[in-house]
Structures are given as C-alpha cells and as structure tokens.
Structure 1
C-alpha cells in the first residue's frame, strides 16, 4: 500500500508539473491574442461600390465594431457580437462617433505648404510669382525634411491617411518625404518633378538627368514598405518631347509605378500647349502621343477636356484628380464631373495644396458641391445633378483608391484591407452639434459634415492600426 500511495503521489506531482506550464502557456497565448486584436466600437461606415450607380453601395452599422489585428481589418461586427470578443480583444469605445476609412488625397504639392493662400494670380502667373521661388528651397535636404514632417502632420490632423504627392525637381525633396512617410508606416506615392524647359534655370533638370535621378529614386523607394513612386512631369509645357519620351521609358522599365501630371487646368495653359505641340489633337493627346496616358496615370484638373479625351482616359485606365478648391481659388474653371461619370472615368478628390486653400477633405467636398451647383445654375447640361454626400465621401475614399488601383489595400473596411481609418466627431463644434440635432437621417448628417466640418471633426487618425 505504501508503494502504491507513493506512485499515486508521484503521478499527481507529475501531472501538476505538466499542467502548470500548459495553463501558464494558455494564459500567455490568450493575452497575446487579446493584445493583437483591437475592436473599435462606434458607428461603422464605408463604401463597397460607387453610390451613383449602386443604391446599396455603402454599409452603415450603428454602434458596431471594427476588428483590427496587426494593422489589418479582420472583420466588421454588430453590437450584439461585441460581447463575444470581450475576453479576447481590447475594445476602444468611440460610441456616438463615425469610424470611417481614411481620406485619400489624389493630388497635392507638399513643397507648396508654406505658400498656401498666396494672393491674386491665375495659374501661369501664380507659378512664376510664388511656386517656383518657393520650390527652389528644396535643394536643401534638411529644409525639405522639416516641411515634410509638418506636411504629414497636417494630413493626419485632417484625416488624410494616403496621398499622391508632388515633390520638386530636386531628388532631395523626394528622399526627405519618403523618409518621413516610411517612419510613419504611411501608404504614400510621390515623385520628383521633371522640368527641362520654360522654367527658371535653378529649377530645370535635363531629359537625361531627370531620367537618371528618377530611376535612382525608383530603385530606392518603389514598393519599399507602403511606398510607391510616380513619374512626375510637372505639365506638358515644362517638358521637352525628349523628356516625355524618357518618362514613358521609365514607365515601361518599371511596371507598377505611377505617372502624375497636370492637364487642361487653365485656358491660357491650353492655348500654350497648342503652340508647343501643334501635332497633337488636344492637350491630353500630347500625353497619349508620348505614351503617358495609361493605367496608373493620374491627371490633375482636366477642366477643359472633350468627349474624345474622356473616352481616351477611360480606355487607358487612367484617372482624374478633381481639385475644386484650387480651381475656384485660381479662377481656373469648373470641372465637369457629370461628363467624366458618363464616360466611366475614375475620379478622386485632390486638395491641390498650395493652390488649394485647405488640407481638409471636408472643405474640398464642400467646394466640389459648389462647383457643381454653379454648373447646374448655368444650365450647362440638364444631366447635371447636385453632388450627394454619399458620392462626395466615396470620391474621398474608395473612389480615390480605385483611381490608384489600390482598392484591394485601402479605401474601405473589406476583410484584409490595411487599417487606415479615422474617427469623426459629428459634434466637434457648437454649430455642428446644433445642426446634427435637426438632421433627419445619415444623408443629412453627412451633408452637414461635408459643408461645416473641418480638422476639428477629425477626432482620431489611425495608420496601419496605430493612432497618430
């Protein structure tokens, strides 16, 4: 009996020795899983399609949860499902606020941050008077880095989590911006400006040096983390045919990179292009002739384009950045969104800072609404309809992502998307709070936010699941 008892005691001891580390391991693993899973509780809102062609294009879950693991969207859950996660996830409560995908800015100039709100000129004069002297400073890497840090903080403050950005002609400007964006784990696309004529000597490269410097930047930065490169001719008048040819050569050599430039922003500019490229049918045709109108090409403005141009853009798979604040500020004209829509052209919003007067996508959406109202009142076309708030918020998120061919990465909360999102406070100001009391539905809430919102409405900004 003694022997049997000893065996029993030894067996119990062994089981305790084995069970304790297993139990401990279960606790540790459970803690790790919980630490990696975070649920953001609030009113979840995002688009799955274009609301102008699909009435079921958005999803709105009141007091639901956005489930994030390791910077990736894992699920969207209803309020009733929140209790299932209480023991295995960290829950952050944003009840009463809207959790929305981060804004995507399709056209912006980071070196022009310091010259925003410069007075009194149209496009070509504005470039000579303000833009070119400012951009000269960006040959200094330290200065470029200082502005890049401020620039990205302003994006975050206004709820913008991704952007397609112009640097200057200096490689230092692009290196500085990418270094900051990489540190921030931000999805950002940028490029060195190509400009080998019709600009001050201190801002000109050559066709050959522009090609070589761009190639070096591509090899260093493209597809590094969440960064991508864009070949960046400023616009047709400041590039020789040889430079445009070499820009296309880079696009052919590095599949998957982007091209960004300006198109038909100003009537004087359009006339100038006719003189410089008499062989081209239109301004857009210049880019087409040199192989720059293609998939992943983004044309800013495109105010003065015709139906053939829009058909060409749609066929090529390129896209347009609608920049209403800039167009109004410089008196450039009114972008015909309804024409672009009728030709199935991809469109997204661009703030176009510094001709654009705000980093805020709310301000951009408000100005877009006014642009289209003006077109309606002018009787330009009976097909013109007021910009709905659903369409406006779509163009600032999923529409812009589709324009960049990255809707499988950002732009909404589909499973597997990168967790770039914002928390919007509908009562950030006294006026908004008062107005929201009288909003009858979600559409009215969004429209009031579109018109009255600003950076104060951005309660939180998250990049890859990390609060900024």
Structure 2
C-alpha cells in the first residue's frame, strides 16, 4: 500500500444500505464531482471536490477523471478459479457437467506450478473486470490453495479461499478422507488465515460429495476456528436435490444436512440456493447465513431461477457470484445484466441501485466484511474502481439519451463489461489500468 496521501476526483457513487430495507432514495450516496482521499491503504475522507480541494496539501497528487464514475470494487461471493479453463464448456446440467468437465480439469491442480499459473491469470481477470474481493473455490489439493493465496498475498488482495473437502462420489484422485481433509485444512488455516488481507473458508464441495464424518469434521473446524468462513453449494439443481435426499434419508432437507453438522452461521455462505422451501429460507436467514446469486451459471446449466424477492422478504443476505466456470463472465456488470433478466422472468424488475448494492456492500455483508470493504465511506479499505462512461461507442451514444442517474446506472449495468473498467485500485494501489 502507498503511505503517501492520494486524491482521486470523479463522480462518486456507493451504497449506504439495501434499497429493499430503506428505500431507493436513502440507499446510496452520489457526488457528481467528488474527491476521494486515500492514505495508507484506507479511505480517509470524501466529499464534494470544491470543498476538499482547497484544504489539500500542495504535495498531494490529484488524479482527475472528468467522465468517469468511481464505485467500490466489486465483490464476487462465489467463483471457482480452477474452472477458468472450462468456461463455456456446455452440453449438460450440473451433475453430468461436473463429471465430464470439472473433475478432469481439477486433477491438474496437484501440480503447484500449474495451479500458480492459472491463479495468476485468474486474478488478472478479476482485476481487469473490477473485482477486488472474492470467495474462491480451489480444488481438493492443498497446493491449489497455496498457489492462489500466494498470488493474492503478493497483490495485497482481500480474498477468501479454502481447500475443497470431498471424500466420495468423485474420481479417487480427487478424494481426500475425513481425517486428511481435516488435517490439511488445519495446516492451511495456520499458514494463511489472517495473513495480510487473506481469510480461510472451510469448503465442503457439496453434500453429495461428503460423508457424514467429513461434514462433522468441517463443523469441528468451524468451532475450533470461529473467525473462518464456510463456503459450499446448496440446492442448485433439482436432480442434485433428489440425489442428496437419497444420500441422507434421515435428514429433513438438503439444508438440514448442513444444519445437522453445525455448518449454518453468520460466516456461512451457500451458493445458488435455488430449490429451497420457505422454511429452509427462513432458517438460513435466522442463522445469519448468506447465499450467492449466480445468474449466469444458473442459466448456463439450466439450474433454475433464484428468487431474490423471497430472499428480500425474509431478510436473507445475498451477494452476487459469477460462478466461473459454469458462469460465463468474470464481469459482475454482465452478471448483473443476467440477474436483471432472471428478475424479469419472475415478474420483477431489478432496480439499478439494488444491483449496485448486491455487487458491492451487499456482497461485503454476505461475507461479514462490510466494516472493511464494499463502501467508499471513510475508514474502509481503499478498494475501488474507475468506470468509464464512454468505454464503447454504443454506451457513449446510449447515455446521451438518459435523463437521470438511475437511468445512466441501469444502462451501465446492462451494456458494461470489462471494457468499462478504466482502473482498479486495491488498498489504494493501482493493480489494473486499461490500455488505451
């Protein structure tokens, strides 16, 4: 991080709260000509440029983007870095897709050097798309965790990751045992959790790939290390739900499998959560757990439509997940574009300020990190992105026909992609700058 104070001038926009809770008008702060002051990796102040500029010391450099928008860095609450090489591999729904595409790809991640190469490319894609924090699936191999965290630590990223736990219903070379999974996870937690801006997530792949003993030991890890997270999949596909029910006939639901083993809590995040009853959703909300809304992968694999309206009614925390590689874009702008369509198919419209919330502060709340990331408020870590309103000819032309901030933001979230991201800052340091 840079210790020297820096100032960044542009339009500023960030969420204050969930529009579903406080109403749209009270949910965000916008400064048409704002100034963001950064020092030692944190946001120290922000306000109208006309008010703050006269008080700056002469030595403070001011970078100015007259036609750009600064927002908090995007937060991806569910993504698989080893699946970067199979994005767009189609033809099947979830369980067959795992067998045909995912498991053969993940076998290669026992090789630390290969895992490191993929991790570096993966992180580069995140930054190119304005994503500054993510909850990341590796593979069952400890080497895959070491490789990812090494790259993230080098760039001072706020990242969460943890070794996959999987002791059945997968290729033998991708299976651990309850004991080895527990021991390897313990070692990785000691090595990486709390190092710099890194955090560990206990990561059973999903109930279908874990025995009762493995899930029991995952719960034990959470009890022994109360500051780590829990990251897994839940009720993504109807066939998957039926299969899990057959594997755990004594449990009342898919969610109850996890609840029985102590995996529900305020630091738990469940990806997808599409095919759940109301009682399970209420239990998730009451536990303080969160879910990742993954529209591009849900559509690509034909898994179903996430009910965001129900989540709002029940007070369930929700973040956005690209879910690379069943997901089809690293861009959370494009992910929100697909989320809008999912909402339309269910008779609702996704407000652009709600979309911004889901990709920033909502994601931070889903991860229990909202005191650190997801906002431009003073005291937060200086993870932010500079978005170019004029990144493409179509975007530039379309914005000439808008009359309000809400309309401009809606257009940006619909037409935007990696080309919109002009620069990405991590802890106050520029980690990606668009060429040209």
Question: Normalising TM by the smaller chain, what interval?
Answer: over 0.9
Where 2:346 maps in the other structure, the secondary structure is: helix
Partner of 1:447: 410
Q: Which structure's relative contact order is higher, taking Cα pairs within 8 Å and 6+ residues apart? A: 2
Structure 1 distance, partners of 2:360, 2:264, is 23
Partner of 1:105: 76
Partner of 1:435: 398
Aligned partners of 1:284 and 1:309 also within 8 Å:
yes
Where 1:52 maps in the other structure, the secondary structure is: helix
Where 2:19 maps in the other structure, the secondary structure is: coil
Aligned partners of 2:27 and 2:353 also within 8 Å:
no
Q: Structure 1, residues 44-100: CA drift from partner, whole Å, max 9, x if none? A: 111111122223111101111001011110011212122321524211111221011
Q: Structure 1, residues 161-199: CA drift from partner, whole Å, max 9, x if none? A: 000000100000000000000000000000110000000
Partner of 2:420: 457
Partner of 2:378: 415
**Which residue of 247, 251, 262 corresponds with 2:222?**
251
Structure 2 distance, partners of 1:309, 1:95, is 48
Partner of 2:115: 144
**Which residue of 28, 31, 41 corresponds with 1:71?**
41
> Whose Rg is larger?
1
Where 1:148 maps in the other structure, the secondary structure is: helix
The structure with the greater share of residues assigned to helix is 1
Structure 1 distance, partners of 2:138, 2:368, is 21
Give the gaps of 5 or more residues in structure 1: 1-32, 377-384
- Establish whether residue 125 from structure 1 lines up as the match of residue 96 from structure 2: yes
Structure 2 distance, partners of 1:155, 1:407, is 20
Structure 1 distance, partners of 2:185, 2:55, is 51
Partner of 1:23: none
Partner of 1:40: 8
- Establish whether residue 389 from structure 1 lines up as the match of residue 372 from structure 2: no
In the TM superposition, structure 1's runs of 4+ consecutive aligned residues that sit over 2 Å from their partners are none
Structure 1 distance, partners of 2:324, 2:90, is 14
Partner of 1:27: none
Structure 2 distance, partners of 1:418, 1:95, is 24
Aligned partners of 1:398 and 1:410 also within 8 Å:
yes
Partner of 1:160: 131
**Which residue of 151, 167, 188 corresponds with 2:159?**
188
Partner of 2:50: 80
1:64-463 to 2 correspondence within 5 Å?
A: 64-81=34-51, 82-85=53-56, 87-376=58-347, 385-463=348-426
Aligned partners of 1:63 and 1:96 also within 8 Å:
no
**Which residue of 40, 43, 61 corresponds with 2:31?**
61
The Cα shift of 1:271 comes to: 0.2
The Cα shift of 1:119 comes to: 1.8
Aligned partners of 2:72 and 2:383 also within 8 Å:
yes
Q: Structure 1, residues 99-150: CA drift from partner, whole Å, max 9, x if none? A: 1100000000000000110021100000000000000000000000000000
Give the gaps of 5 or more residues in structure 2: 432-436
Aligned partners of 1:67 and 1:77 also within 8 Å:
no
Where 1:105 maps in the other structure, the secondary structure is: strand
TM-score by length of 1: 0.90
Where 2:35 maps in the other structure, the secondary structure is: strand
Where 1:61 maps in the other structure, the secondary structure is: strand
Partner of 2:434: none
Aligned partners of 2:162 and 2:200 also within 8 Å:
yes
